[in-house]
Structure 1
């Protein structure tokens, strides 16, 4: 279902514009020989992460809403705890996928209010596919673009409403890795089989795992391994806007953001 009557929140518009411009600079690096650094936590960093972060900051700083980004120096919690709103950003989610050049990396931008996702944008620069959502209106969209420079009216023209799968099907499509799933994930899959379900494993990199569930290409995404807030905030916004929950395995409540510790607990994405 395509729709041209979309009314965009101004912050969502800004996040979309930032993600597309970031996608453009990311692909400039992707199409060249690039160096890979290792950060203190041994995670990889490329010139694309840094350039995309600078671009996104240039769009978000004028909103006067504080920013939590993987590539920014983190503000101390004694200050952050008083933030009612904040942006949560991953300039290149799936840097390992970027380095492998498999195209499954994304730009993640979310707006958080009182610890909960309010808006979310996930852009896939390699395929020029854009996902965006406004949780308040309970609407999420997908647009396949022809260019990183696609004007906003064309984006809206190309946007289609996301719809999750109906939940009465016998086969459960589980988002995970075909090659190396954690024991906890294997146990989860085994539990589904014992409940009489057939299970298919659907594999994707980065925050695209959330998009698979939101758009009806999978049923459930169990994440029983470490993630950070910037890995999940935009995906949670997109899922929440279509009635999909992202539930902490520690609290049995939705994941929260701008926490003292920006590390997420394990979680389950499902209806």
Structure 2
């Protein structure tokens, strides 16, 4: 296995344990300038991940780090992109639907991705260059990465002929999304089912065949999507930027993503 992927897996699991230490306590919630919530769990997780990733020569973009100006980032060939706690709103609600996201980018394209769900110990990881995407529910968080690889199962796309399953955000469903769902209902004879999830788990639903389409018509940042895109890409899916019509790129001048779509196949027509 790629050594950087091993490192990211180890970092995500240990960060997840730091998050769960806070999750099981009463904790304070602060708010950033954009009104997004921040807890000590975000900060503790970030500290753990930085300790791992800073052992590599690869620069890091993390939600909880001070963001460098594009003039300093524009010549990077590689970078890590990290969300130490994706789904802070879900964490605050204590519904378990929050994740640790770590991705490796090369020439603006996703190469590796890890998504770890601390509350359930569900681990997803991918190496895009090897078309490898796997998942495992950890029985032992102290298991070696080699054991994790051997015990994990491959993610496989599944075509559902009876219905179209559309992923909706647990906390961010909006008018554009509901309009898109309505348009799908008009264009297909299949039953349309809404599958709700928080955080980057929405990508995992499509990559694991539990959903068919993930439309995102709400703001996200690069750290919200990079790891999920890597997992989707490794199973043969594309995350398409609505503005460019192309696969979403990373380490852009503006770290705010455009709207995007992940789709298993063309399920929104009658053909």
TM-score by length of 2: 0.94
1:189-213 deviation line (CA, Å, top 9, x unaligned): 1222122232000011100000000
CA displacement, residues 31-86 of structure 1 (integer Å, 9 cap, x when unaligned): 11111111111111111100110110000011110000000011110010000000
Offset of 1:180 from its aligned partner? 6.5
CA RMSD of aligned residues (A): 1.3
Give the corresponding residue for 1:41.
Answer: 34
Q: Which runs of 5+ in 1 are unaligned?
A: 1-7
Deviation string 1:210-232 (CA, Å, 9 cap, x unpaired) is 00000000001000000000000
Q: 1:131 aligns with which of 124, 130, 145?
A: 124
* Contact residue 120 and residue 132 of structure 1 kept, 8 A: yes
Whole-angstrom CA distance in 1 between matches of 2:149 and 2:169: 33
Tell me how far apart the structure 1 counterparts of residues 130 and 77 of structure 2 sit (CA, whole Å).
20
Hey, what does 1:172 align to over in structure 2? 164
Alignment of 1:157-236 (within 5 A): 157-166=150-159, 169-177=161-169, 181-196=173-188, 197-236=190-229
Cα deviation 1:154-198 (Å, max 9, x = unaligned): 21232000011226x131000004786322212211222122232
- Matching residue within 64, 71, 78 for 1:71: 64
Query: Secondary structure of the residue that 2:100 maps to in structure 1?
Result: strand
Per mean C-alpha deviation after superposition, the further-off stretch among 46-55 and 183-192 is 183-192
TM-score for the superposition, normalised by structure 1: 0.94
Match of 1:53 in 2: 46
Q: Tell me, yes or no, if the aligned pair for 1:207 and 1:232 is still in contact at 8 Å.
A: yes
SS in 1 for 2:44: helix
Q: Determine if contact 2:98/2:117 at 8 Å carries over to the other structure.
A: yes
SS of structure 1 residue aligned to 2:173: coil
Q: Is the 8 A contact 1:185 1:223 kept in 2?
A: yes
> 2:104–2:112: 8 Å Cα contact kept in structure 1?
yes
Q: How many residues align?
A: 263
Q: Distance in 1 between matches of 2:232 and 2:251?
A: 19
* SS of the residue 1:52 aligns to: helix
Note the alpha carbon deviations across 1:207-259, whole angstroms, 9 max, x for none.
Answer: 00000000000001000000000000000000000011100111111111101
Gaps in structure 2 of 5+ consecutive residues = 265-271
